Amino acid sequence: MLTDLDLEALWRYRSTYSKPADFDSFWDATLAEARSFALDVEAVPVDTPLRTLDVHDVSFAGFGGDRIRAWLRTPRGASGLPAVVQYHGYGGNRGSAVENLTWASAGFAHLQVEVRDQRGGTGFMTRGIADPATYFYRRVYVDAVRAVEAVRALGSADVAVIGNSQGGGVALAVAGLVPDLAAVHAQAPFLCDFRRALNVCGRPPFTELTTYLAENRRADVFPALSYFDGVGFAGRAMAPAWFSIGLMDDIVPPSTVFGAYHAYAGPKEISVWQHSAHEAGGSDDLDIALDAFRSRLFQEKP
């Protein structure tokens, strides 16, 4: 069953989000502070059974100089390739070094970044929420921007970003913070249009915020969240973007994705999967991203 508005209403829907006056300066200052730490990229070859690809265990300085880890996968012996930077879903991790091989096998440098601290945990939606300066996602978004810088430092000039769920939300944030991305793919992106999300969504992780507010009845977290809302980043983003969403998604309400989509400033498309839940278009979304990114980054015709 539909979990939110029907498609016609989604095309008409606009988020009530409004960007705080100092949104841009907040992020300028945040990134400047992050860049006060040397990026210090390390890439250590990983001994894997793979014969067609190289894998490097990459680390670099994220927010506060903390080490952030990622896998870099490339076709064996290749370098200087266009890159795809991928962010993962809530509570996840960068996964196994020897899985998720499509992008590298398709000729991209594929940097799969790990969100700090999340591996199997929970409670991140409210960590440090009392102040934008201490909010967990301030760190995550900075780490994500630094990942783009890291893959460039490793030789990839052209960079696209992708992600599913939380990863899609992070990709949108990066799209708003990094001016010269080649392309963006956000599959069922989380972290958009928080006010709407809490009114519509009855499942974690959005409900971590609901639970927090029910216990902190006089707290107003929305001012703080307004610095981290995908709708805000969308309004700054200029790279061509592909969104996707399932209309039966009960984790990321479709209206919140349309909220970001309608606000997106750059060229954009959205794939609507009428009977999908949070998996959205699954491998069909991957096919769309591959086609889009190949024509953008390789000038290949799909």
- Hey, which bits of the chain come out as E strands? 42-45, 53-61, 67-75, 83-87, 109-113, 159-164, 183-187, 241-246, 268-273
Cβ neighbourhood burial of 296 (10 Å; 0-12, 13-18, 19+) = middle
Q: C-beta of 227: minimal distance to its own copies in Å?
A: 20
For its own copies, the closer CB: 57 or 208: 208
Spatial CA neighbour of 63 closest among 34, 36, 41: 34
Q: C-beta of 26: minimal distance to its own copies in Å?
A: 24
Q: C-beta of 150: minimal distance to its own copies in Å?
A: 23
For its own copies, the closer CB: 258 or 264: 258
For its own copies, the closer CB: 76 or 180: 76
Q: C-beta of 24: minimal distance to its own copies in Å?
A: 29
For its own copies, the closer CB: 238 or 286: 286
Query: Quick check: 50 and 298 in contact, CB under 8 A?
Result: no
Which residue ranges make up the site for its own copies (CB under 8 A)? Answer: 1-2, 6, 48-53, 75-76, 91-93, 95-96, 98-99, 101-102, 104-107, 119-124, 126-127, 198-202, 208, 210-218, 246, 248, 273-277, 279, 281-284, 286-287, 290-291, 294, 300, 302
Q: C-beta of 177: minimal distance to its own copies in Å?
A: 26
Spatial CA neighbour of 270 closest among 17, 280, 106: 280
| Residue 102 DSSP code | H
For its own copies, the closer CB: 229 or 285: 285
Q: Indicate if 54 belongs to the active site.
A: no
Q: C-beta of 83: minimal distance to its own copies in Å?
A: 15
Pairwise CA distance, residues 180 & 47, whole Å: 33
Pairwise CA distance, residues 137 & 209, whole Å: 13
Q: Indicate if 275 belongs to the active site.
A: no
For its own copies, the closer CB: 123 or 179: 123
Q: Indicate if 249 belongs to the active site.
A: yes
3-state secondary structure 25-67: HHHHHHHHHHHCCCCCCEEEECCCCCCCEEEEEEEEECHHHCE
The residues near 171 (Cβ < 8 Å, ≥ 6 apart) are 87, 144, 161, 162, 163, 184, 185, 186, 189
Length of the chain: 302
Residue 82 to residues 104, 236, 283, Cα–Cα distance (Å): 10, 23, 21
- Active-site annotation holder among 15, 165, 244, 255: 165
Can you tell me whether residue 295 is helix, strand or coil?
Answer: helix
* Paired tokens of 268: 């954009």
Catalytic positions, written as ranges: 165, 249, 278
